Structure 1
Amino acid sequence: MIPYGMVRHCLRRFVRAAGLTTLVVAVAAGTAACGGGDQAAGTGAAASAAPVAIKDHWERTVQVPANPQRVVVLEWEGLITKSMKIFGVDNTLVGVDSATKKMGHRAAVVPSIAKAVALGSPWSGVNYEQLAGLKPDVVFLEAWVASQENRAMHQEVIDKIELLGVPVVVLISPSNFEQPNIRTAWEHITITGQVFGKQAEATRLVERLNAGLDKVTSRTKDIPDAERTKVAYFATINNVMGTKSIQSYLLTDVVGARNVAGPGTFVTISEEKLLALDPDAMVVAGHEGYLDTSLIYEGKHAGLNWANLKDMRALKTKRLVALGYDEWRATVETPIALLKIAKLAYPDRFADVDIVAEEIAFYRDVYGLDEAQAKAAIEAQKYVGELEVK
């Protein structure tokens, strides 16, 4: 039997020699060439240890080298890189998707991102030659599969990376399951823990995050349906989060509010439709950039012309809360985001909660930051990106 590390080494050698245009031919030749001779030097992973079998969200069992030392992460929610930081293995990060590289918040909590190479994404195109040059032991890929077309696109990316001799662990975005549930988000943490042999650390992290959710549900679980606050979960620049999204699940099942949006995940919204929904309160999520609520109250144009929505109940009563570029996602900061939403929806039930103090304490506890670092990371959530405000 040909050793796994040797096969991978040879595959990479042949792919680099042949170029990506002849990827399949190169891989076939590389596999044949690996049939004999002395074992080649492996990568940084423990070459003598048996690979770890990982069951991923693509309904496969993936053989991953034990103790991976060179890791690429292409993701949306940030759960993988953040978990790596919390587990103390983020020094293995060598490549990330371009969006992760560009935004400031994740680098504030995971400094290793600053040194990692930007590799594109399934949506913008992955730079396979750069990826091969990094010699990763494993690639994590978070897939957005809202359609068969999306799934086929990600499958093509998986196939190309695996032809480089690199195992791919696929995790599906929490909004893409038939029934969104925070459990599927936390699986990003537990599977990352399995890859790195950090199962105990993963369990502790999930327990810590669930404890944060319990702070909310313990105060909202007894609210009668008739008394639930009607909330619009707006996502810049012109969407509301529909009932198929993980955000809707968190809004209704954890915060105990009512989502005024209809079915779907990202539901395009116009000024007229949002005014017709007339929510009691509104979350402003930094999907395409952080939008400060003061700009909405001032009637600025940012995706929508907010001056045309001045008569919407949530604006008239100033019941808005802005969530940062990362925290609105199903991610490590979700418990803090939900505290903010819960205080917006039910101010009397959360009158004693000091959001600023809770947020700083959370960052210090979960990420091991000092107070100054925690404040800097929180401020970095206000990443505006390419959001245009007029």
Structure 2
Amino acid sequence: MPFFILFSVLLTALLVSGCADTAETSPSSDLSDSSLSSSASSGSDSATQVQYRTVTDMRGEEVVIPAEPQRVIAISRSLIDTTMYIFGVEDRIVGGSVYDKPLQMGQYVWNGTDYTVNTWIGKILNPGLDNVTNVGGFGGPYGLPNVETIASLNPDLLILRDLGDQDEDTEKFISQIEAMDIPVVVLKYPSCYDEPSVETMYEEIRLLGEVFGKEDEAEKIVETVSSRVEFIRSRTADIPEEEQKKVLYFGAPTWAKDKGGAGYAFGSGSTEVAMMEGIINSRSAYTEPGMNMVSAEQILSLDPDKIILCT
């Protein structure tokens, strides 16, 4: 996949160390870096034992994981599975926060022009997601995380992207999974921090590179995305405040009408607005905190200069 595509793909997905000197065959051991090697069973052919190593996730926790994870659960997965696709290991996902309806096109017709588009980027990149078991997630149309479903898939690793808005539930869920001896690597979405920044996504990508032994590929992604970010900043940094565009960052899922609105407006405190203001040097048309359902009438009253559709 050409790396120049990654900027839009990975920002849409946002919106992407340890050392060992001891070999061990069980994740319950105290390790620091890559370790185990194959061992031979006496009186039989060589039996390959699972190798383990330690990574430090974005909680600051040292997590013992398989050296080559093969059965991965991805919770709040967009950046996770997109990055895994680029790494060439997308086939290792056995479960995740997956919309379990078949891949379909979104029908958009305006003034007689058909703007039909497939809005599920992950499924465009990896149609195999249609065969991945939905285990729930935090946010989105996936349902709550289902610990029993996760256990039934026999994963050797769970990667969770902490969205920063359900701390108590997230911690409880992690404890339940770790109690089943399933290693949990936690990424932290930019909104987990007081000042959301695109640089947080770079850290997430680098951690995924470490998890899958794809550090060089991860660095290429980071370099590609950061070069685009800096290019945009260089063109917008000097826009005077009075000339800044008033922009509405807006999500219009097809099920919004069932909840009584036109879609979701992203406001102050959201990662999307923080990056929009910090990178393209615009002003948010919607200033209420968080992400809220709004009506068509409310959108008109906001009178934005531009609308960014993230759906």
**TM-score, normalization: structure 2?**
0.70
Contact 2:57 2:187 in 1 (8 A): no
User: Match of 2:64?
Assistant: 63
SS in structure 1 at match of 2:26: helix
User: Match of 2:246?
Assistant: 230
Q: Does 1:168 align with 2:184?
A: yes
Distance 1:274 1:125 in 2: 30
User: Match of 2:26?
Assistant: 5
User: Match of 1:109?
Assistant: 125
Distance 1:190 1:151 in 2: 23
Shift of 1:153: 0.8
User: Match of 2:54?
Assistant: 52
SS in structure 2 at match of 1:98: coil
Q: Which has the larger radius of gyration?
A: 1
Cα displacement string for residues 94-135 of structure 1 (whole angstroms, at most 9, x for unaligned residues): 112233776643122124423322222246233333322322
Contact 1:54 1:64 in 2 (8 A): no
SS in structure 2 at match of 1:210: helix
Q: Does 1:140 align with 2:159?
A: yes
Distance 1:257 1:200 in 2: 34
CA RMSD of aligned residues (A): 2.8
Give the unaligned 5+ runs of structure 2.
Answer: 1-21, 30-40, 42-47, 104-119, 253-261
Distance 2:268 2:282 in 1: 12
SS in structure 2 at match of 1:193: helix
Shift of 1:272: 5.2
Q: Does 1:95 align with 2:119?
A: no
Shift of 1:173: 2.5
Matching residue within 275, 279, 297 for 1:250:
275
Change (3 A) 1:71 1:263: same
SS in structure 2 at match of 1:99: coil
SS in structure 2 at match of 1:125: coil
More helix by share: 1
Contact 1:101 1:118 in 2 (8 A): no
Which amino acid is the alignment partner of residue 49 of structure 1?
Q
Contact 1:176 1:245 in 2 (8 A): no
Change (3 A) 1:264 1:66: same
Give the unaligned 5+ runs of structure 1.
Answer: 9-38, 40-45, 287-390
Which amino acid is the alignment partner of residue 289 of structure 2?
G
Which amino acid is the alignment partner of residue 194 of structure 2?
E
Contact 2:24 2:52 in 1 (8 A): no
Shift of 1:231: 1.4
User: Match of 2:264?
Assistant: 239
Cα displacement string for residues 5-29 of structure 1 (whole angstroms, at most 9, x for unaligned residues): 3769xxxxxxxxxxxxxxxxxxxxx
Distance 1:72 1:154 in 2: 15
Shift of 1:211: 2.0
SS in structure 1 at match of 2:304: coil
Shift of 1:91: 2.3
Cα displacement string for residues 65-90 of structure 1 (whole angstroms, at most 9, x for unaligned residues): 211121111115x1111111111222
Could you tell which deviates more after superposition, 197-206 or 182-191? 182-191
User: Match of 1:260?
Assistant: 285
Shift of 1:254: 1.5
Cα displacement string for residues 44-64 of structure 1 (whole angstroms, at most 9, x for unaligned residues): xx84534222222x3422222
Which amino acid is the alignment partner of residue 230 of structure 1?
K
Distance 2:289 2:60 in 1: 24
Which amino acid is the alignment partner of residue 267 of structure 2?
G
Amino-acid identity (%): 29
Distance 1:90 1:212 in 2: 25
Contact 2:74 2:95 in 1 (8 A): yes
Q: Does 1:189 align with 2:191?
A: no
Distance 2:101 2:162 in 1: 18
Change (3 A) 1:6 1:139: closer
Contact 1:101 1:113 in 2 (8 A): no
**TM-score, normalization: structure 1?**
0.56
Distance 2:64 2:100 in 1: 26
Contact 2:27 2:65 in 1 (8 A): no
Contact 1:230 1:257 in 2 (8 A): yes
Contact 1:83 1:189 in 2 (8 A): yes
Q: Does 1:219 align with 2:219?
A: no
Could you tell which deviates more after superposition, 122-131 or 254-263? 122-131
Contact 1:5 1:47 in 2 (8 A): no
Contact 2:138 2:163 in 1 (8 A): no
1:261-340 alignment, distance < 5 Å: 261-271=286-296, 273-286=298-311
Instruction: Give the number of equivalent residue pairs.
Output: 245
Cα displacement string for residues 169-227 of structure 1 (whole angstroms, at most 9, x for unaligned residues): 12232233211110112222111111111111111111111222234223222211111
